[in-house]
Amino acid sequence: MDDNAEAPDESQGLRKIIHVDMDAFFASVEQRDDPALRGLPVAVGGAGGRGVVAAASYEARKFGVRSAMPSVTAKRRCPELIFVKSRFDVYREVSAQIRAIFDHYAQEVEPLSLDEAYLDVTDDIRGIGSATRIAELIRAQIRQETQLTASAGVSYNKFLAKLASDQNKPDGLCVIRPGEGAAFVASLPVRRFHGIGPKGAEKMARLGIETGADLATKDRAYLTTHFGSFGDYLFRAARGIDLRPVRSNRVRKSIGGERTFSEDISVPEDLRETLARIIDIVWERIAEKQARGRTVTLKLKYRDFQTATRSRSVPQWVSGREEFTQLAEALLEAELPLAQPIRLMGLTLSNLERTQEQEPASDDAQLSLL
């Protein structure tokens, strides 16, 4: 059977999905609360030598400043950059306001982080009659109640809705209707696909794959040969196919983050410095959630896209940042020297203590999505 025939029709399981993504959320909150920062390049995060940008305003992004970037690099790109310390208590408060708005319009809401979520509005609980109109009302209500802007994508599956929300940022709306998904994806550079970083895009370019249309010419066997298990995702993505449901009240299984590099790295000191930065950000998220876990896992993705994970567990809970750091560093040291350079490093805390609260979040959030 031809591989292309194995893909389900893009209309299978049609839903009405909205992806809402706040615009430069952390930085926008800071500019909202401090008028002196408006119109200026702002980065949320530490300005020190080992600091990392957690979020950047659109004024800063014009200079190439991005989240997960070392602060020294950000400052080099934008000498006028203003660093502001994070205020997660405020971000959580605003996020709760936004979540209340989502809940008014949809029973199924799947938050991905403090500043973005999927909504399944197929049931149309308010009788509005149009997913596009619901998205417009949500954006308007967010602006009215928080004085912040949000972008939204509307489509018939999660993959397309997320692509659409990024299409007209900031403060934009994009709709991909049934039957339009494959054509929309075909027009995009593969770099726009979630999960494809700079190095991945470079590898694809060497294989003659630069757009969704190029990707769609490759069968599943070809993609699996060159990209391993990631190939199946690429095969479906190129056809605008995503059958995942919107899942509300997902139980958080881990807290972590990962960083994809613009250039592969292998020098031990560079690896240790990178791990230290990831520890800074991940532990801040652990502390924010007041989470406790037993297992620390290091993830390394090599130049050839093969992935290795190494874990260590403790009998009781990881006692604090010091033990978390020691476990993470030990995992890295055990892998040195690396057999080949890596394109991605990630770190997670798992086997979390179960609480009454269910945390809606992905198991491993990209640091670039902070």
* Residues of the binding site for Mg(2+): 21, 115
| Marked catalytic residue, from 59, 116, 258, 284 | 116
> Cα dihedral angle (54, 56, 62, 68), rounded to 10 degrees?
0
Distance CA(313)–CA(303), nearest Å, equals 28
Residue 312: how many other CB atoms lie within 10 Å? 16
Sheet holding 116-120, edge to edge: 108-113, 116-120, 17-22, 150-155, 173-175
User: What contacts 307, CB < 8 A, 6 or more positions away?
Assistant: 228, 299, 300, 301
**DSSP state for residue 191 in the 8-state scheme:** G
**DSSP state for residue 364 in the 8-state scheme:** S
Contact in structure between 246 and 30 (CB atoms under 8 Å): no
Distance CA(13)–CA(15), nearest Å, equals 6
Q: Is 116 a catalytic residue?
A: yes
Question: Catalytic residue numbers?
Answer: 116
